[in-house]
Amino acid sequence: MLDATVLERIGIAIGSTALALLIGLVIVAASGYDPIQFANQLVVGSFGSERAIARTLRYSTLFVLAGVSVAIAFRAGVFNIGVQGQFIVGGFATVVSIVSLAPYLPDGTIGGVALMVIGTIAAIVAGGLYAALPGVLKAYGGANEIITTIMLNFIAIGFVGWLVAGRFGDPEATATRTERMPDTVGFPSVVFDDPNLSIVGILVTVVVVVVVAAVMTRTSFGYDMVTSGYQESAATYSGVDAKRMIVSTMTFSGMVAGLGGAIFAIMIQGYFTDPSGIGNYGFDAIAVSLLAANNPLGVVPAGLLFGGLESSSSHIQINSDVPVQLIDGIVGLVVLFVAVPELFRMIARRTGLGGESR
């Protein structure tokens, strides 16, 4: 889909989503459930109330950050499948650094802001370093980054889970989790009356999207990233160290994933729990990036779509007897259709909607 025009990419995204929803409704009907009720629950659960909108934006914030992380690597021809692990490492680093340093900083707003800045920096550094490892293995050891990043996901889940249950666990908590961060640590709840959503988190996400898009399309660093990923010989000929650039690409990608972990820890949880139960934001981000054609700006509407689906799934689970697994099926269909863009081009040509044949 890299050779598709902007209009083609938009059409493919809309067409794949619409077709996935249509087939999903047919499956719902064939399963003996009311497809009209299911469609209504999808809309209501995503945007039907202020609470639903806040829930959708909360999920979307994390999907967008994780999706941008994936898009950075994919756009540069490197496959970072380890965003989930980088997200976990980043969130854990945030909580540990804040809890450890809280006794040494003053109470109040100033101390809270300082702790959040320190925790966010820790997350960015931890996520970047964790992503740099498979980058080094690929660039200098010839290792397949798909395999190494996938395995590093499970290492992060297992090792962080062990630390949360042991050294950094809260002995007074009934569940497996770290100590809570101080009450002064947290984004203000402005605009939305939701303790787990803040306009600050949304604004940070928007800024990250804009900055990443600018870096990828308006700077020599971004050009060198893409060239090194797809045309290593050309990059080397022009004086770019392609191996070093691969490591830089993975590090940049992991830094954004780590930032997503920090937003998750500060805005939503307030502590860190067993990473196997925090959600599959890093894994779903692959689908988000694919739907956006690996365009950082396109990740925003794609993230909103996935955030809406995630929000509606919890609503459906409570208010309907339709199996919530159907939401996962719809997401899978979206990914499937996005992965075969030529199908939509062929349909457009056959129906006269695609202009002249190529």
Residue 1 pLDDT exceeds 50? no
Residue 162 pLDDT exceeds 70? yes
The tokens for 53 are 């909108």
Residue 358 confidence class, pLDDT cut points 50, 70, 90: very low
The distance in angstroms from the start CA to the end CA of the chain is 15
For 324, the 3-state DSSP assignment is: coil
Region of 77 please: left (phi>0), alpha (psi -120 to 50) or beta.
left
The β-bridge partners of 273 are 177
Would you say 311 and 45 are in contact if contact means Cβ atoms under 8 Å apart? yes
Tens of pLDDT, residues 119-147: 999 999 999 999 999 999 999 999 999 99
Would you say 307 and 59 are in contact if contact means Cβ atoms under 8 Å apart? yes
Tens of pLDDT, residues 253-299: 999 999 999 999 999 999 999 998 888 999 999 989 988 888 999 99
Region of 142 please: left (phi>0), alpha (psi -120 to 50) or beta.
left
- Within 10 angstroms of residue 50's Cβ, the number of other Cβ atoms is 11
The position carrying tokens 């209009």 is 7
Q: How far apart are CA 160 and CA 156, in angstroms?
A: 6
Q: How far apart are CA 175 and CA 245, in angstroms?
A: 42
Tens of pLDDT, residues 29-58: 888 888 888 888 889 999 998 999 999 999
Tens of pLDDT, residues 167-192: 999 988 888 999 999 999 999 887 78
pTM of the model: 0.90
pLDDT for 77: 87
Tens of pLDDT, residues 90-102: 999 999 999 999 9
